């Protein structure tokens, strides 16, 4: 059985059979354009065959580096922003625990920096590391992206002060461009071990490369099984529409978008899925949000967010649909004992596993929301194992690419990302931005 299956039984009141069949041809055409590499952005399709075509020598070096980090470091600092850290963090929290750093374990704690410009957050991480032995994995194609470059400058200095220049270089692992860029040049000069960010794999599609795999391996996850899951997904999702849940998911999203739904709310009932949802939001937001088109990707963790967002979802504007990730087998379970006093009145929940209560919450919520007019797409995920994670990553990536082509946009560029950077550089006085700075200062009333 595939680790993911699509359950559309709750869509009967929202999508008619003929609508799905009419979109099927468009969906298959988009998938063919993707597989033929004949669409826009086709120079960024390295992820398509990555599960079977990855560099086996580098893969072995990733595992060796992970073992070295586990043997000589109590902490790994992962420096990156966007796709350079979200996938790894999502994987570790899903497969290990959202409380990974607090668990008793034989692997290093992992902290993520370079994903903001907050000095308070950075100082807190430095304080937490304290006197413990640590290593750094800096992830940047260019080495000049502001947030990670700033964090790397600081942690490189900390390493050199603690271990000396020679000792520090054995604790810095740079995931960067194969041949060029500031970080690559520095790594070659200083002797850091390097891993490659391929030219044909964009950041948000890079979790199955060294970008994600090194931190995932350091956390003790089996990256061989991750790649095996992704390889099965690659094979499965070449099937015809009728046997292809990935294409059906892309089609359903497209139909609901055409019907006026502007928000896709990704929902799970496990806190361990929260960072996976953040990865999903970058993948779909950065891929689809162009030319004034695209579904806005949002997320909730239930039942937690039913006590905050539940009212809006049930009775608010009918602008959204939910994609519910139903994890069939939780990482662990707990049996509910009877309480003789029953002061809380919860003995009706006794003599069963807590996971069953969580499942009834899912079932009751899906029924309530669909009856309230919110379409629910259910993705049934077998478990949170490495194999299932790899399969799910490929599922979402391919569905995203197909969805983008169905929208008539290039899913692999991100032209809007640069706008804020230009303004920020001008306001900070970066050389070459002097004229822009004066104009922006005037707009800010300064």
Sheet holding 320-327, edge to edge: 4-7, 376-381, 320-327, 263-268, 296-301
Of the options 3.40.50.2020, 3.40.50.2300, 3.40.800.10, 3.40.50.10490, the CATH number for the domain spanning 4-39+227-407: 3.40.50.10490
pLDDT at 170: 97
Of the options 3.40.640.10, 3.40.1210.10, 1.20.900.10, 3.40.50.10490, the CATH number for the domain spanning 50-221: 3.40.50.10490
pLDDT tens profile 268-284 = 999 999 999 999 999 99
pLDDT tens profile 390-435 = 999 999 999 999 999 999 999 999 887 777 778 888 877 788 787 7
Q: Break the chain into its structural domains and give their ranges.
A: 4-39+227-407, 50-221
CA–CA gap between residue 424 and residue 129 (Å, rounded): 30
Segments of 256-402 assigned E as strands: 263-268, 296-301, 320-327, 335-336, 352-353, 376-381
pLDDT at 122: 97
pLDDT at 437: 80
Write the DSSP assignment of 378-419 as a string of letters: EEEE--SSHHHHHHHHHHHHHHHHHHHHHHTS-TT--GGGHH
pLDDT tens profile 376-390 = 999 999 999 999 999
Residue 71 burial (CB count, 10 A)? 8
Active site residues: 286, 307, 421
**CA gyration radius for the chain?**
23
CA–CA gap between residue 288 and residue 414 (Å, rounded): 9
pLDDT tens profile 195-231 = 999 999 999 999 999 999 999 999 999 999 999 999 9
pLDDT category at 444 given cuts 50, 70, 90 is: confident
CA–CA gap between residue 278 and residue 117 (Å, rounded): 19
Q: Which residues pair with 112 in a beta bridge?
A: 78
């Amino acid at each position: 059985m595939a680790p993911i299956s699509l359950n559309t039984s709750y869509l009967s009141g929202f999508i008619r059979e003929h609508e799905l069949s009419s979109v099927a041809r468009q969906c298959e055409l988009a998938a063919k354009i993707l597989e033929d590499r004949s669409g826009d952005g086709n120079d960024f399709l390295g992820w398509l065959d990555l599960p079977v075509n990855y560099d086996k020598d580098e893969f072995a070096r990733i595992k060796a580096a992970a073992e070295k980090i586990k043997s000589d470091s109590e902490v790994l600092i992962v420096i990156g922003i966007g796709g350079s850290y979200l996938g790894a963090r999502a994987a570790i929290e899903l497969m290990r625990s959202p409380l990974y750093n607090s668990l008793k374990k034989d692997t290093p704690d992992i902290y993520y920096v370079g994903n903001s410009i907050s000095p308070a957050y950075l100082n807190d991480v430095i304080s937490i590391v304290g006197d413990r032995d640590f290593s750094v994995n800096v992830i940047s194609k260019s080495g000049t992206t502001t947030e990670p470059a700033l964090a790397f400058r600081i942690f490189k200095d900390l390493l050199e002060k603690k271990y000396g220049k020679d000792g520090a270089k054995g604790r810095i692992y740079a995931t960067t461009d194969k041949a060029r860029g500031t970080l690559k040049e520095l790594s070659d000069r200083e002797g850091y071990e390097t891993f490659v960010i391929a030219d044909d794999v964009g950041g948000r599609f890079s979790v199955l490369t060294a970008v994600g795999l090194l931190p995932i391996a350091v956390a003790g996850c089996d990256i061989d099984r991750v790649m095996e899951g992704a390889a099965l997904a690659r094979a499965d999702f070449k099937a015809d529409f009728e046997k292809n849940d990935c294409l059906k998911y892309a089609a359903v999203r497209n139909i609901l978008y055409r019907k006026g739904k502007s928000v896709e709310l990704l929902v799970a009932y496990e806190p361990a899925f929260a960072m996976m949802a953040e990865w999903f939001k970058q993948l779909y937001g950065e891929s689809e949000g162009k030319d004034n088109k695209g579904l806005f990707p949002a997320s909730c963790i239930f039942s937690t967010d039913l006590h905050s967002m539940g009212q809006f979802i049930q009775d608010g504007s009918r602008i959204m649909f939910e994609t519910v990730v139903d994890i069939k087998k939780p990482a662990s379970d707990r049996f509910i004992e009877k309480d003789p006093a029953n002061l809380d009145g919860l003995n009706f929940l006794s003599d069963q596993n807590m996971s069953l209560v969580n499942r009834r919450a899912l079932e009751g919520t899906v029924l309530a929301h669909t009856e309230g007019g919110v379409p629910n797409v259910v993705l049934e995920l077998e478990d949170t194992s490495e194999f299932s994670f790899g399969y799910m990553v490929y599922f979402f990536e391919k569905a995203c690419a197909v969805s983008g082509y169905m929208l008539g946009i290039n899913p692999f560029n991100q032209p809007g990302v640069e706008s804020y950077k230009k303004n920020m550089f001008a306001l900070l006085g970066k050389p070459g931005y002097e004229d822009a700075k004066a104009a922006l200062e005037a707009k800010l009333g300064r």
